[in-house]
Chains A and B, each alone.
Chain A
Amino acid sequence: MSVNTEQLFDRQIVTQISQSQEEPTWMLQKRLAALDEAAKLSLPKLEKTRIDRWNFTSFDPYRGEEALTTIDTLPENVRQFVSAEKEDHVFVQKNSSPVYQQLSADLKEKGVIFTDIATAAREHGDLVQKHFMTDGINPNEHRLAALHTALFSGGLLLYVPKNVAVELPFQALFWASGKGVGNFPHVLVVLETGANASIIANFVSDEDSDAVVNGAFEVFLGDNARLSVASLHTHGEETTEVAYRRTVVGRDAHLDWTVGDLNGGRTISDNTTHMQGSGSNGEIKAITVGAGEQRSNITSTFHHWGTHTETNIVARGVMLDAAQTILNGVTKIEKGATKANGVQAEKVLMLSPEARGDANPILLIDENDVQAGHAASVGKIDPIQMFYLMSRGLSRRQAERLVIFGFVGPVLDTIPFDSLRERITDVIEGKLSS
């Protein structure tokens, strides 16, 4: 691997981004250090997907946008992703700028923070410095992580103090708009001991967008905390998206992750959770639908460190046209994580002769006293199943729909947000009928 020692981006651009957001000095230093690293580091190595010719560097890294006075000025196809009733907690970012924020006085009073990262870094510096690109994602992991650290803009911190329970889900919307933009959304979620919350993050773009999206999602769950978190991605066909997500789970904490990779374009999606605290349990539900010439590489990982940790990965991919996906599931149990139990199942359904899918279950176990199990399958719709359904009067189309929604059902039916389930259903319907 040859090392490119030239800067990928000008230090001045990075400095401008930082200064325009009035960031503390430590953050600018962190950005500049990462920028230097980005030139030296290689791209991440992905199982069975070549990404060396994907566009990760050609774009306009900063595009500022005007704040919105009301959320109703968003175009309907973007607006539909959030509910903004008076009591809702909402954050909207367009390209590089946070443009709308809404949090009830009640939650502010309880110490809940739900704001952009620059503001958070000014007002709660220690908190952000402790968690931003440290124990979650390391800026030096690979070139894309370093680039994200150097160029991120806007971004969001959700902080829920000890024993505070928030009923309504926090909603975040990241919108890539216009040609030639690079978007670097960053979501940082910190739940203290015994806190209880849920958050849905939507990543969308204009239909004709050619955005390069390099996002990061870092989650820290304190002891006995509970979090349901969902990340829904519906970028257009010409986009390229990289999304790295890391979660660190405390003792007896409970995590429920839903990832909907429903982009139209190239997608790298990596969701890794460290089950640090003993007695914690976690679930990852991942769903992807590919169409056209789309390529995607989707990895769900649970890393067991604590004893009595329990995890479950359920992943489903539906591939249309000439789309290809690699669906990886990794359950890694460290020595000492006794009584851990990790199970996973990845399945791909191919709806056309040109579609391709790969389901890779990987169990890495360094401890004897554990349980683990996996299942994987890749297949086409069974013509005998179709015959059976059609023999009861269902049209070919109806029968196909039933089989497909039955196939994604184990993921879809367990998503803890009704609205999200409906939206995912709509997106799948849209992909199937186009």
Chain B
Amino acid sequence: MSTVPKLTIKDLQVSIEEKEILKGVNLEVKGGEIHAIMGPNGTGKSTLAQALMGHPRYEVTSGDVSLDGEDVLEMEVDERARKGLFLAMQYPSEISGVTNSDFLRSAVNAKRGEGNEVSIMKFIKQMDKKMDQLNMDESFANRYLNEGFSGGEKKRNEILQLLMLEPRIAILDEIDSGLDIDALKVVAEGVNGMRNPNTGFLIITHYQRLLNYVTPDFVHVTMQGRIVKSGGPELAERLEAEGYDWVKEELGIEDETAEQQA
């Protein structure tokens, strides 16, 4: 597809186990843009990420999501992925007995479609290159998917998948949590390397730290299951320096969590 990717979220409301978490999120992410979503714990950041990808425990109760004009909420999880949506997960699953490289090749081929599979040689070369870029030991290719990986190794592995699958819209859910500074830099370089008009980013984070290495174009603050404030990179800097209290004060919010009764 040659057009610039566009993810549009309109008045998205999401519940988990009958509890309403997102109460109407509006956002548009286009190719070449990096959006950061920040906010205190429990304000709905991760719920947004999981709901966009179609996590089975999250129920969308209202609203629209479209990718390049197509209705995302109508799609199965795998179809969303093949259309170019990607979620780097906070807690990736461990799959025993499936090697990292077998899995990745299946994923790459699923996206390319039947009859257009990548040759094994070409795939291996490409994976070697990306693993090198992420300072991943080559043994990772033959280890079982995420099994026994440390927290940092899992995150790096998520970024490896991101680089290999080249999605149109990439959502990174707290990819920076628990990373040491070296790993953080590696992850940031990976993201910066993909900064081009063919990919839009939605980076969900707790901390300003990652944003020191990946400069966002837009910063949004979530509270009570909504985006309550948006701005440029300077907003992230102020949040880092002053915390969230000034935002709450400005908006007259006492309890910022999503589960509070409105």
Contacts and interface: CB of A to CB of B under 8 A. Distances in A.
Interface string B83-123: 00011010011011110001100110011000000000000
A390 B97 contact: no
Interface in A373-411: 382-385, 387-396, 398-399, 402-403, 405-410
B110 A402 contact: no
Contact of A393 (B56, B89, B92, B107): B107
A394 B92 contact: no
B92 A396 contact: no
A53 to B, nearest CB: 37
Interface in B22-77: 53-56, 76-77
B95 A403 contact: yes
A388 B110 contact: no
Contacts of B78: 390-391, 393-396, 399
Interface string B185-226: 000000000000000000000000000000000000000000
Contact of A407 (B92, B97, B165): B97
Given A398-B110, A402-B103, A402-B106, A390 B76 contact: yes
A362 to B, nearest CB: 24
B82 interface: yes
B236 interface: no
Contacts of A385: 93, 95
Contact of A387 (B54, B161, B165): B54
B244 interface: no
Given A393-B81, A405-B98, A407-B97, A387 B110 contact: no
A383 B93 CA distance: 10
Nearest to A402: B98
Interface residues of B, number: 29
Contacts of A396: 76, 78
A390 B81 CA distance: 8
Given A387-B55, A402-B106, A403-B98, A393 B93 contact: no
A429 to B, nearest CB: 15
Contacts of B54: 387, 391
Interface in A327-384: 382-384
Contact of B82 (A387, A393, A405, A406): A393
A408 B77 contact: no
Contacts of A409: 96-98
Given A398-B110, A402-B106, A389 B55 contact: no
Contacts of B111: 393
Interface residues of A, number: 25
A395 to B, nearest CB: 5
A384 B57 CA distance: 9
Nearest to B87: A391
A340 B202 CA distance: 56
Contact of B93 (A388, A395, A398, A408): A388
B89 A388 contact: yes
Given A391-B87, A396-B78, A402 B53 contact: no
Nearest to A347: B96
Contact of B56 (A383, A402, A407): A383
Contacts of A413: 97
B93 A394 contact: no
B95 A390 contact: no
Contacts of B86: 391-392
B144 interface: yes
Nearest to A397: B78
Interface in B143-160: 144-145
B98 A388 contact: no
B95 A389 contact: yes
B165 A405 contact: no
Nearest to B82: A393
A314 to B, nearest CB: 12
Contacts of A410: 96-97
Contacts of B53: 387, 391
Contacts of A382: 93
B103 A389 contact: yes
Contacts of A398: 106, 110
A392 B54 CA distance: 12
Contact of B95 (A391, A395, A402, A408): A402
A412 to B, nearest CB: 9
A403 B93 CA distance: 12
Given A394-B107, A402-B103, A403-B98, A388 B81 contact: no
Contacts of A387: 53-56, 77, 93
A4 to B, nearest CB: 48
Nearest to B77: A390
A406 B110 contact: no
A399 B102 CA distance: 12
B107 A406 contact: no
Nearest to B88: A391
Nearest to A384: B93
Interface of A: 382-385, 387-396, 398-399, 402-403, 405-410, 413
Given A389-B93, A392-B110, 5 more contacts: A384-B93, A392-B103, A392-B165, A393-B78, A399-B78
12 contacts: A384-B56, A387-B77, A388-B93, A388-B95, A392-B165, A393-B78, A393-B111, A395-B78, A403-B95, A406-B98, A407-B96, A410-B97
